[in-house]
Each structure stands twice: as C-alpha cells, then as structure tokens.
Amino acid sequence: MEYTSVDPPALVSQLDMPLEKTKPRTRIQKQNIAAIMDAALEVFSANGFRGSTLDQISQAAGISKPNLLYYFNSKQAIHVQLLSELLDVWLAPLREMDPQGDAQVELMAYVRRKLELSRNFPRESRLFANEIVQGAPRIEGFLKNDLKSLLDEQAKVIRTWMDDGKLARLDPYHLIFSIWAMTQHYADFDAQIRMVRADQITDSHDGAEEFVESVFRKILAP
C-alpha cells in the first residue's frame, strides 16, 4: 500500500480534526510523506496507538521530528490517515460483491480477496486489530455509520440468496464476521502460527487458502 498524499481522509471530519487545505506536493515532500506513513505503519502495528510515539516514527522514517510535524500536526493525525486509507482497501471486496452474481462464486471470491489482503498487508491488519482492541476510539463514527450501512446492505443480499435457495440458511452477519475472523487471523496471529508450526511451514499463510476455501464451500452449500 503506497502513501503519497495527505488529502483529508473521510475519518477526519468524524473526529472534528482541523486540517489545512492540501497544497500540491513536490517530489521530495511526497517521498517524505511516504517514508513517514510506512514508518508509522510499522510502529503502530507493532506497538498500538498508545505505545507509539512521534519520536519512534521520526526515527524509523529517518526524518527529524520537526520535519515530521511539518506534514502531520500530531500522532493521531498520522494514525487516522493510515486507518482511512486502510479501510478503503479493506472494505473494497465487500463493496464489490455483485447481488446479480452467482451467490457461492461471489462469496468465495470475497473469502479469497480477504485472505489475499491478510497475506499482502499484515501490518495493516494488525493496525486495524489494535484499534478495535482499544475500543475503536478513532473510528467509532465510521463503524457505526459507514461500515454498518455497508454491512446491512450486503447482509440483505446474502439473505436474499438464502431465501432463493442458493446458499445454506445462516445468519448473514455471523457469516461475514467468520470470514473476517478466519482470514485476518493469519496476519494478526502470524507470530503464534509460525512458532507452533516452525518445523512445518515457511509462511503463516501456508495451506491457508485451501483450508479456508474448503470450510466455506461446505457451510455455504444449500
């Protein structure tokens, strides 16, 4: 995931955080922003929001703290920017589920996309998990509004498929929760998986796709 701008994210308005209008950035400024965001992602995903500091982020980015503060006026501003961009990527597969498509094909594609995101963006997954574990103080409004609306909409689609006999009768919300839990586990608990299977695997996701797909194919079959 690349970070090249500081356009005000959707979450900022929910947090009532004032931001100056974004001006065109030079190549060096864009490079600095990308370095800050990547460093912040590493620091936040490892330590959580409360355990992270601007000093840690600036050191990891190789940028002085005053220079960092030129781009972001607080630790929270960086964290919110990361979460905003992450949520756009994280929720894209759910938004793309086609109500007119084949029920099982659409849901299995969603499972695969979520597992792919878990494999390719483990730090982002842990960043989000840390935020939720802390009670989601910085994205509460997003969860209660945007995410809830999207989840309600797609739950209706899934329930219609079930009513039409295309899927097994399940609670749509718990079905989606179980997809989230099973796929993101491989990123959020990467260390545990690698430690208990150190002599069997080289990557925490080894064998995950085949297993996860087989589980959901069985429970989705009408």
Does one domain contain both 111 and 145?
yes
Does one domain contain both 53 and 111?
no
Last residue of a domain, one of 78, 98, 120: 78
Nearest partner of 11 among 149, 138, 151, 128, judged by Cα: 138
Categorize the per-residue pLDDT at 10 as very low, low, confident or very high, splitting at 50, 70 and 90: very low
Structural domain contains residue 1: no
Structural domain contains residue 181: yes
Cβ atoms within 10 Å of 16's Cβ, excluding its own: 7
- The arithmetic mean of pLDDT across residues 38-61, rounded, is 93
Does one domain contain both 109 and 70?
no
Backbone angles phi, psi at 22, to 5 degrees: -75, 130
* 3-state SS, residue 28: helix
Q: Which two tokens stand for residue 84?
A: 């905003």
pLDDT of amino acid 23: 67
Does one domain contain both 56 and 125?
no
Share of the chain above pLDDT 70, in %: 90
Write the DSSP string, 70-81: HH-SSHHHHHHH
Residue with tokens 């109500």: 99
Last residue of a domain, one of 56, 78, 100: 78
Residues 45, 46, 47: CA angle, nearest 5 degrees: 100
- The arithmetic mean of pLDDT across residues 12-30, rounded, is 59
- The arithmetic mean of pLDDT across residues 20-29, rounded, is 71
Task: Report how many domains make up the chain.
Answer: 2
Cβ atoms within 10 Å of 169's Cβ, excluding its own: 9
Does one domain contain both 157 and 184?
yes
Does one domain contain both 177 and 68?
no
Categorize the per-residue pLDDT at 64 as very low, low, confident or very high, splitting at 50, 70 and 90: very high
Structural domain contains residue 190: yes
Domain span at 170: 83-220
Does one domain contain both 114 and 188?
yes
Average pLDDT value over all residues in the chain: 88
Nearest partner of 112 among 85, 125, 129, 94, judged by Cα: 94
Does one domain contain both 40 and 134?
no
Residue with tokens 């498929």: 161
Predicted TM-score (pTM) of this structure: 0.82
Does one domain contain both 55 and 136?
no
Residue 91 has pLDDT above 70, yes or no: yes
- The arithmetic mean of pLDDT across residues 30-46, rounded, is 93
Share of the chain above pLDDT 90, in %: 69
- Cα separation, 105 vs 199, in Å, equals 35
